[in-house]
C-alpha cells in the first residue's frame, strides 16, 4: 500500500526509485534490528533454561475400553536427543558444561545442539513386554505437539467437544476414553523437539532439529533410547503419525530400517501428506502443477454435499465420490493439462460439471480458470450467508472474518476445539500424571517459518531442491522389509490433506505390485482430526486395533 501511494503522488521514475531504495533500506534496517533483538532474546532465554536432562514421573491408572477394564502404568517424562552423527547421544550436558579449556563453564547456548523431547507412555500392567505391541504416536505441524491425538484419540482420558460446532469455554469435560488404543498396544505419545515440555539447546539448535531429515533423525534417536530405557526392543513396533506426522513416519520408517536395524510391524497414517506438490493450500504458487485441484475435488464434493449446496444431491455420499474421482482423473485432469489451449466451449462444459460437483457458481469457476484452491473454496461455498467452512474439518463453519476477502481468513474447526484440548491436557498432566507443575507446555510453535523442507530421499547424494516428497522413503522401507504393513486412514471432510490425494500417493509409491497388497485403506465421515467425530473415533479405534492384531506376529495370527 505504501508503494502504491508513493507511485500515485510521485510518478517520475527517479523519485520512485529513491523512495524504493529508502523503503528497502528501512526494511533491511528494521529486519536486522529485529534479528538482533530475537537473537538477544533467544540467548537470554537459553541462559535461563536448566540444562537438558532426562526426567521421569510414574503414576498408575485404569481405563475401560469398549467394556474391558485395563490397569496401566503411566510415565510422563523427557529424553535428551541429539542430531545425527553426534559423538555421544547419551552425553551428560552438565558434564559438558564444565568441560572447557579455560576452566570456565560455557553457556548452554554455546554447547553442541541438543533437545529435550517430552512424552507420555502408557504400559498395560501385568503384560509381558516382549509380546506386547508398542506404538509411537505423534502429530505433525511441523511445530505441533501431540496433545491432539493424546486427548482426542487414544489416551485413557478424552476431552469432550462439539461434533461440528464451537465448543463452549471451560470447564471442559474429561471422561474415560472408551476407544483408547491401550487394549491393543502400549502407547507412547511423543512431542516434537521444541514443543510440549521439550526445549532446544545449543548452537544452531533450530537448524539441528527443524527440518524434514533433522526431525526424523531426532525421533529415531528418541525411539532407540526409549526401547533401551524400557526394555522394549523385542516388542512388536508401530508408528502412528497424523498430518505432517505422516511425512515424518515415512521418513522415520526408512531411518529406523537402515540406521537402527529396526523392522517395524506397521506404519499407521492418519490424514496423510507425503508429497507436498499435492497440497491444495497454495497451488497457484506452483503453476504447471495442476494435480492438487483434481485431487481435492472429491473433498469439495463431500463438503458441498454435507452443507446441502449440491444441485440434485444424491442421498448417499460414497457412490457420488466414486463418480467424482473418475471425473477428476480423466476429463478434469485433461482439461487442466491443456492449459491455454483448452477450447472455450470445452472449458465452459467442465465448469458446468464442476458446478454440479462443488456447488460453486459456474462463472466463478470459469473466472478462476477452473482452478479453485482450498482457501477459495472454504470462503466461497457458504458466501451467501457470510460464513466460512473449516480447513481441517469442512463440516465446521464460522462467520467470515472479512466477507470481501478472496480466501478464508481462519479455520473455524481449529478455533472451535483447540482451547478444549489444550486446557484439558494442562490440567490432566499435572493433576493425574503429576508432571510439569513448574513447566510451560507448548501445544504449537512457529517452527514452519524456519523449517528446512529440502529432503534427501534414499539414493540421493544430497537434499533435493524440490517440494518435500517422502514417498521414496516409505517405499524403500517396505521393499527392505516386505512384511511391513501400512494402514491409511482419511476423513472425507479434510481439506488440509484431502483423502483422494492420499490414495493417489499410495497408488504411486515406487513398489512392486505384490507390496501394494500390504496397504489397507479406511475412510471416515469426519475431517483431518477424524477422532473429533465420536462415531469415527470408534471406527478408527476398531480399524487400528484390528490392524495391530493382524500384524503383531503373535501366535495364532
Q: Domain for residue 32, yes or no?
A: no
Q: Domain for residue 399, yes or no?
A: yes
Per DSSP, the three-state class of 106 is coil
Strand 200-201 relative to strand 186-190: parallel, antiparallel, unpaired?
Answer: unpaired
pLDDT at 36 over 70: no
What pLDDT score was predicted for residue 98?
52
CA-wise closest residue to 245 among 536, 528, 545? 528
Q: For 403-414, write each residue's pLDDT tens digit.
A: 878 888 767 777
Pinpoint the alpha helices (H) of 212-367. Answer: 212-229, 244-259, 291-306, 317-327, 333-338, 344-358, 362-367
| Model-wide pTM > 0.85 | yes
402 and 423 co-located in one domain: no
What pLDDT score was predicted for residue 2?
37
Q: What angle do CA 522, 524, 525 make, to 5 degrees?
A: 160
Q: For 294-328, write each residue's pLDDT tens digit.
A: 999 999 999 999 999 999 899 999 999 999 999 99
359 and 251 co-located in one domain: no
Beta bridge partners of 444: 144
pLDDT at 278 over 60: yes
Continuous segment of H or E residues that includes residue 111: none
pLDDT at 241 over 80: yes
106 and 169 co-located in one domain: yes
Give mean pLDDT, residues 229-252.
Answer: 97
pLDDT at 1 over 50: no
> Distance between CA atoms of 113 and 96, rounded to whole angstroms?
12
> Distance between CA atoms of 217 and 252, rounded to whole angstroms?
7
Domain end: 358, 389, 413, which one? 413
Neighbours of 347 (CB within 10 A): 16
343 and 271 co-located in one domain: no
Q: Name residue, grid cell 484390528.
A: 546
Q: Domain for residue 100, yes or no?
A: yes
Q: Domain for residue 512, yes or no?
A: yes
Q: Which of 59-68, 412-421, 540-549 has the lowest mean pLDDT?
A: 412-421
400 and 269 co-located in one domain: no
Cβ atoms of 292 and 278 within 8 Å: the answer is: yes
Q: Which domain holds residue 367?
A: 288-413
Mean of the per-residue pLDDT values for the chain?
Answer: 88
pLDDT at 53 over 50: yes
517 Cβ contact partners less than 8 Å away, ≥ 6 residues apart: none
Q: Domain for residue 362, yes or no?
A: yes
327 and 218 co-located in one domain: no
Q: Domain for residue 557, yes or no?
A: no
Cβ atoms of 125 and 73 within 8 Å: the answer is: yes
DSSP 320-357: HHHHHHHHIIIIIHHHHHHGGGS-HHHHHHHHHHHHHH
463 and 535 co-located in one domain: yes
Where residue 5 falls among pLDDT bands split at 50, 70, 90?
Answer: very low
432 and 386 co-located in one domain: no
The number of folded domains in the chain is 2
Domain end: 374, 389, 413, which one? 413
What pLDDT score was predicted for residue 45?
52
89 and 163 co-located in one domain: yes
Q: For 89-131, write each residue's pLDDT tens digit.
A: 444 455 455 544 555 555 666 788 999 999 999 999 999 888 8
pLDDT at 8 over 70: no
The percent of residues above 90 in pLDDT, for the chain, comes to: 75
The dihedral sign for the CA sequence 420, 423, 429, 430:
negative
185 and 256 co-located in one domain: yes
Strand 186-190 relative to strand 114-124: parallel, antiparallel, unpaired?
Answer: antiparallel
Q: For 506-528, write each residue's pLDDT tens digit.
A: 999 999 999 999 999 999 999 99
What pLDDT score was predicted for residue 355?
98
Choose between 162 and 203: higher pLDDT.
203
What pLDDT score was predicted for residue 33?
52
Q: What angle do CA 183, 189, 194 make, to 5 degrees?
A: 175
Continuous segment of H or E residues that includes residue 56: strand 55-65
CA-wise closest residue to 328 among 308, 348, 303, 299? 299
What pLDDT score was predicted for residue 6?
31
Q: Domain for residue 1, yes or no?
A: no
Q: Domain for residue 530, yes or no?
A: yes
170 Cβ contact partners less than 8 Å away, ≥ 6 residues apart: 419, 420, 423
297 and 156 co-located in one domain: no
Domain end: 386, 413, 440, which one? 413
pLDDT at 44 over 60: no
Give mean pLDDT, residues 61-68.
Answer: 97
Give mean pLDDT, residues 264-278.
Answer: 97
Q: What angle do CA 178, 181, 184 make, to 5 degrees?
A: 120
Where residue 40 falls among pLDDT bands split at 50, 70, 90?
Answer: low
Q: For 453-497, write each residue's pLDDT tens digit.
A: 999 999 999 999 999 999 999 999 999 999 999 999 999 999 999
240 and 131 co-located in one domain: yes
Choose between 243 and 109: higher pLDDT.
243
What pLDDT score was predicted for residue 545?
98
Where residue 337 falls among pLDDT bands split at 50, 70, 90?
Answer: very high
Where residue 11 falls among pLDDT bands split at 50, 70, 90?
Answer: very low
Give mean pLDDT, residues 353-370.
Answer: 98
> Distance between CA atoms of 393 and 526, rounded to whole angstroms?
7
**Any idea what the CATH number is for the domain that residue 134 is in?**
3.40.50.1820
Choose between 23 and 370: higher pLDDT.
370
Amino acid at each position: 500500500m505504501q508503494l502504491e501511494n508513493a507511485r500515485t503522488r510521485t510518478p517520475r521514475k527517479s523519485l520512485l526509485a529513491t523512495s524504493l531504495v529508502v523503503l528497502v533500506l528501512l526494511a533491511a534496517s528494521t529486519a536486522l534490528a529485529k534479528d538482533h533483538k530475537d537473537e538477544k532474546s533467544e540467548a537470554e532465554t537459553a541462559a535461563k533454561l536448566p540444562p537438558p536432562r532426562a526426567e521421569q514421573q510414574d503414576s498408575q491408572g485404569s481405563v475401560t475400553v469398549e467394556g474391558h477394564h485395563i490397569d496401566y502404568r503411566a510415565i510422563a517424562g523427557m529424553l535428551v536427543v541429539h542430531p545425527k552423527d553426534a559423538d555421544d547421544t547419551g552425553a551428560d550436558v552438565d558434564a559438558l558444561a564444565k568441560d572447557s579449556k579455560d576452566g570456565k563453564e560455557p553457556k548452554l547456548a554455546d554447547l553442541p545442539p541438543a533437545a529435550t523431547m517430552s512424552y507420555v507412555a502408557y504400559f498395560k500392567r501385568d503384560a509381558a513386554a516382549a509380546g506386547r505391541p508398542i506404538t509411537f504416536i505423534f502429530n505433525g505441524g511441523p511445530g505441533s505437539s501431540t496433545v491432539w491425538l493424546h486427548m482426542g484419540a487414544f489416551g485413557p482420558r478424552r476431552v469432550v467437544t462439539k461434533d461440528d460446532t464451537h465448543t463452549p469455554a471451560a470447564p471442559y469435560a474429561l471422561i474415560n476414553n472408551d476407544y483408547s488404543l491401550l487394549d491393543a498396544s502400549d502407547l507412547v505419545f511423543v512431542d516434537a523437539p521444541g514443543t510440549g515440555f521439550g526445549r532446544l539447546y545449543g548452537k544452531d539448535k533450530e537448524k539441528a532439529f527443524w527440518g524434514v531429515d533433522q526431525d526424523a533423525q531426532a525421533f529415531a534417536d528418541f525411539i532407540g533410547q526409549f526401547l533401551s530405557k524400557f526394555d522394549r526392543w523385542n516388542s512388536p513396533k508401530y508408528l502412528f503419525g497424523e498430518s505432517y506426522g505422516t511425512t515424518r513416519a515415512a521418513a522415520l520408517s526408512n531411518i529406523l530400517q537402515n540406521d537402527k536395524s529396526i523392522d517395524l510391524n506397521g506404519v499407521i497414517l492418519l490424514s496423510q501428506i507425503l508429497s507436498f506438490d499435492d497440497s491444495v493450500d497454495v497451488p497457484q504458487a506452483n503453476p504447471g502443477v495442476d494435480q492438487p485441484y483434481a485431487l481435492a475435488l472429491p473433498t469439495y464434493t463431500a463438503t458441498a454435499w454435507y452443507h446441502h449446496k449440491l444441485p440434485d444431491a444424491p442421498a448417499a455420499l460414497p457412490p457420488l465420490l466414486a463418480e467424482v474421482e473418475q471425473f477428476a482423473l480423466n476429463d478434469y485432469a485433461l482439461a487442466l493439462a491443456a492449459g491455454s489451449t483448452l477450447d472455450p466451449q470445452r472449458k465452459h462444459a467442465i465448469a458446468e460439471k464442476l458446478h454440479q460437483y462443488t456447488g460453486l457458481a459456474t462463472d466463478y469457476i470459469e473466472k478462476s480458470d477452473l482452478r479453485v484452491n482450498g482457501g477459495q473454496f472454504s470462503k466461497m461455498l457458504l458466501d451467501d450467508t457470510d460464513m466460512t467452512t473449516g480447513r481441517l474439518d469442512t463440516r465446521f463453519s464460522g462467520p467470515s472474518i472479512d466477507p470481501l476477502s478472496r480466501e478464508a481468513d481462519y479455520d473455524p474447526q481449529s478455533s472451535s476445539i483447540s482451547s478444549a484440548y489444550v486446557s484439558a491436557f494442562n490440567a490432566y498432566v499435572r493433576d493425574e500424571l503429576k508432571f510439569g507443575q513448574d513447566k510451560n507446555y507448548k501445544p504449537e510453535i512457529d517452527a514452519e517459518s524456519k523449517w528446512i523442507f529440502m529432503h534427501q530421499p534414499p539414493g540421493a547424494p544430497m537434499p533435493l531442491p524440490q517440494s518435500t516428497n517422502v514417498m521414496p522413503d516409505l517405499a524403500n522401507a517396505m521393499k527392505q522389509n516386505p512384511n511391513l504393513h501400512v494402514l491409511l486412514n482419511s476423513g472425507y471432510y479434510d481439506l488440509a490433506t484431502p483423502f483422494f490425494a492420499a490414495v493417489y500417493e499410495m497408488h504411486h509409491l515406487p513398489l512392486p505390485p505384490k507390496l501394494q497388497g500390504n496397504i489397507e485403506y479406511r475412510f471416515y465421515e469426519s475431517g483431518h482430526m477424524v477422532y473429533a467425530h465420536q462415531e469415527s473415533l470408534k471406527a478408527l479405534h476398531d480399524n487400528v486395533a484390528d490392524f495391530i492384531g493382524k500384524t503383531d506376529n503373535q501366535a495364532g495370527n
